[in-house]
Homo-oligomer: A and B are copies of this chain.
Amino acid sequence: KQQEELSIEALVSSLREGNRKALAQSITLVESKAHHHRQKAQELVQGILPYTGSSIRIGITGVPGAGKSTWIEAFGKLLIKQQMKIAVLAIDPSSSLSGGSILGDKTRMEQLSHHPDVFVRPSPAAGTLGGVHRMTRETILLCEAAGYDVIIVETVGVGQSEGMVRGMVDFFLLLALTGGGDDLQGMKRGILELVDAIVINKADGDNRDKALTARGDYRGLLHYLKPATPGWNPSAYAASAFTGEGIEEVWNVINRFVKETKESGAFENRRSSQALDWMEQMIMDRLYEEFIQKEGRKDQLAILKEEVLRGKLLPTEAAAKLFS
């Protein structure tokens, strides 16, 4: 026990010095499913908690093909020039960070990831949604303790993960293409009402005019929707990871967002409610886990669901049977 506590302490101080190896080890610990690792991981994250919270947390989503990895690379390079340290995390196994190697994306992201001020981490190996959620949130805290100024959380946005990402970042950005609403058809319902900005990517060459038209369309569309962040009117921008046009504008928008929401209190309010939501999610996950682990429970649940589906049993009655 003494030794374990020492090693956690050593990890905390290495982390705070910005040691990349310590950061990678810490994340591996946080992602481990072994029970004794879990306990150690909790100790570690609790230990670094006082040194967290000062980064800007940015979520980036977009359909596959929207050019997320090249865009993040261009955006990252700009931040590095401004002496910032950035961490890029992926939340789902199909994101460009983790799965993009097939399309050659990995090479591009590796170029960025070799820079000393950049830390790139693919998504944790498959787990429950709640598990990935927890791991990513804890990883954000670890990166903050290690001195990263901007944390980018990338998601493909086709599953249930955007709501999760929205729940852990300050600023949520959608990368879209010029196809107008058509390229959103694959996205989760309600995505537009989660975003703080839409960036039309690939606004270069022959595509530039179309991107500017799409920007106008999206601006009109956003007018109809309730803003995701109180007091902040989301808008659409055009940018090109290839020419670099518009990248700095997006960074300026993010900085203005942070300044305005910190002044209005919306920034802190969101962080607070995110922490409470996380806690509640952990409680519900734990309750369900304990419930479903009971001998024979899964089989019973499957049978009862079948009866509900066949219209033989009322859903409330089926639920009641599980508790009797």
A interface list, Cβ under 8 A from B: 42, 45-46, 49-50, 53, 134, 137-138, 141, 180-181, 184-185, 187-190, 192-194, 217, 221, 223-226, 228, 272, 275-276, 278-279, 282-284, 286-288, 291, 304-305, 308-309, 311-320, 322-323
Contacts and interface: CB of A to CB of B under 8 A. Distances in A.
Given A185-B226, A284-B284, A291-B283, A309 B193 contact: no
B276 A287 contact: no
A264 B50 CA distance: 55
A128 to B, nearest CB: 14
A289 to B, nearest CB: 10
A278 B138 CA distance: 32
Contacts of A225: 181, 184, 189, 192
Contacts of A141: 314
Contact of A311 (B49, B188, B314): B49
20 contacts: A42-B316, A42-B317, A45-B317, A46-B314, A49-B312, A180-B224, A181-B225, A184-B225, A184-B226, A190-B190, A190-B193, A193-B193, A221-B224, A276-B308, A276-B315, A278-B316, A279-B315, A282-B318, A283-B322, A287-B288
A46 B286 CA distance: 31
B279 A304 contact: yes
